Chains A and B, each alone.
Chain A
């Protein structure tokens, strides 16, 4: 099972490599990892997508918590959550396909951020499965380059009646 962990960690040199080292050293896997600053400059926020059965996930969370630099670990996928990933896709767009690419952008609400005679570069944001769907559809047309951010996620606030 896939799990999305949200990790707050001290913004110190080496903190990130402690975390990645923990995953490689203990044979856990990282499907994606996204790190950035938070409002508090002394902390970094890290979203990590991993997979494993409940025991492995329990171990991963405990092992992360054991690191001196880790402040907080939340398994956001335990409850309701929003996740987003962004990708930049440079896709072949020549005579016959130019219109088709634009149509697809429209359907999936992607943005064209760069145009050349033979390519479009499009920006897409959404949950991972949306990115997957778009990539599947664009593949036959010809993807020349792809850059993805990895997932970021947040728990949903409880809705009050």
Chain B
């Protein structure tokens, strides 16, 4: 065993956990860790321009790579600035470790300079958190933090590290494995439940697979596809589940819920069996809960028991890892089920019905001469990137148009703040994703409102020479809120219209990046090409139809069949 200071333990733990990059911003209470990080020199540090950006970047890195994202901030305001990023990661179950500096233990509770109770503040938005009072606990806490962050239902874990603990010396005994008596997520699904689920599948005439972010987190996309193909069931995905099943697959009905496809919502309303995989029946998906899937039996696979039976009554709960559960279901289907042709035949009437819905109201938009339609921009972006880019989004209409019109075929290619809906997420997340996946094209699709929430990270992207691209769908409105005002608030656009927006092309140039803009439809392709082909950071701005809406739309609180259509 070796003796070392707390600050060194942090760096050694990073190495043991395979951390290759951390995102952060320094300050007095974390200066010692920074000093050690710099002198050690093995771990890449990305200096952001705002701690919220560090947290989102760590999150984007985690979503894109499946590894734990790490960020560092100082005490007080540094720590509070990370809170939105932590809550965003928590809402979407993203594995993250956040290290914050804290005033020396002797000053804690004294309202010392830059003291804030960050452990208290983040208790409801972390999976777990720690205030380290003694350096002898630090190796164990570091180990636990990474383990808790990535196991079970993943989530952010915060470690608050007082300055004196950073500088105290102790034994660095870093266990390879740990067991926590009070924390044992159920990973292995119960065989009896699998058997019961299979019986329901066998009896169903109109099943649907409803896949959520859990499929992506559990790396279960291959198994999901296998199951879907072997029983020939239609698949719909939540916003978080997009990419968990190929969007271009003939069995994909696209996204469901508030801005889901007509076909997916109708199928959910008429199904006799929902096979929910890593999804949580969020209100944006169910709409008015009393009217949700009235005739359906429900099989619900989730690693988190609290997600099951929270919003809807479930017939067969299966607690466990999605991938393991799907594997077992596939095995049951192969061993006991009908051959694939027979499954297919069995569902002919159901598929006829589904195809009829899909043909009646496919995703669409109206072309208007001389005006750029945002959906068209996304379609072109999809074409030009051949569907192979990592797309991050901001929040609002830009997010929904992306979800609808970019066909995500691969997991970890759509990074979006689904649970919390955090404007400002997309751009720093793109920076994190690009750090993790240097060979991928990474594009943030943004609104003119959201992009201004973390625009300062332009400097970070430039400094790191990351070729992140930004597509701004500029409607000079907080578009999604405006849409609600148009539909439900007498068209009174309270506080949603911007009278001043920066010239984004010149803004890009001010940071040393490239900027391009299009005001006519015929310029769209050219601007996208120029932007995507340019070497470094580029902003592509599109002056879109100002009052374009996102449709279909299920008004909040209405049944999902009561869709407003294009």
CB within 8 Å of B: which A34-64 residues: 55, 58-59, 62-63
Q: Is the CB of A62 within 8 A of B128?
A: no
Contact check, B180 vs A18: say whether CB atoms are below 8 A apart.
no
A18 near B182 with CB under 8 A, answer: no
By a CB distance below 8 angstroms, the chain A residues around B127 are 68
Q: Mark B163-193, 1 if CB is under 8 A from A, else 0.
A: 0000000000000000011110000000000
* Chain B 296-316 interface mask (CB, 8 Å, partner A; 1/0): 000000001110011000000
Q: Is there contact, CB below 8 Å, between A18 and B123?
A: yes
Say which size band chain A's interface belongs to.
Answer: 10 to 19
Task: Check if A79 is an interface residue, CB within 8 A of chain B.
Answer: no
Find out whether the CB atom of A65 lies under 8 angstroms from the CB atom of B120.
no
- CB of A142 within 8 Å of the partner chain: no
Please encode chain A, from 62 to 100, with 1 for each CB lying within 8 Å of some chain B CB and 0 for all others: 110110111100000000000000000000000000000
Q: Which A8-31 residues have a C-beta within 8 angstroms of B?
A: 9-10, 13-14, 17-18, 21, 25
Q: Please, how many angstroms separate the alpha-carbon atoms of A58 and B129 in the complex?
A: 25
B306 touches A68 (CB 8 A): no
Q: Does B77 contact A (CB under 8 A)?
A: no
The reply to whether B123 and A17 contact each other, CB–CB distance below 8 Å, is: yes
Q: Which residues on B sit within 8 Å (CB–CB) of A71?
A: 181-182
- B308: nearest residue on chain A (CB-CB)? A62
List the count of A-B residue pairs having beta carbons below 8 Å apart: 36
Tally B residues with Cβ within 8 Å of A.
18
| B124/A65 in contact, CB under 8 A | no
**Which DSSP category, helix, strand, loop or mixed, fits chain A's interface?**
helix
| Residue contact B306 to A63, C-beta cutoff 8 Å | yes
- Whether A68 pairs with B310 at a CB distance below 8 angstroms is no
CA distance A13 to B128 in the complex (A): 12
**Alpha-carbon gap, A9 to B181, bound state (A):** 10
Q: Please, which residues of chain B bring their CB within 8 A of the CB of A9? A: 182
- Chain A residue numbers with a CB within 8 Å of B309 are 55, 58-59
Expressed in whole angstroms, the Cα–Cα distance for A102 and B119 within the complex equals 51
Give the complex CA separation of A7 and B148 in angstroms. Answer: 21
Most buried by B among A25, A59, A62, A68: A68
The reply to whether B131 and A13 form a contact with Cβ atoms under 8 Å apart is yes
Report the nearest B residue to A66, measured CB to CB: B306
List the B residue with the shortest CB-CB distance to A70.
Answer: B182
CB-CB under 8 A from A58, the residues of chain B are 309
**Nearest CB of chain A from residue B298's CB, rounded to whole Å:** 14
For A62, list chain B residues within 8 Å (CB).
Answer: 305-306
Alpha-carbon separation in the docked complex, A158 to B120 (Å): 42
Interface residues of A (CB under 8 A from B): 9-10, 13-14, 17-18, 21, 25, 55, 58-59, 62-63, 65-66, 68-71
Beyond A14-B131, A63-B306, 9 additional pairs, beta carbon < 8 A: A9-B182, A17-B120, A17-B123, A59-B306, A59-B310, A62-B305, A68-B182, A70-B182, A71-B182
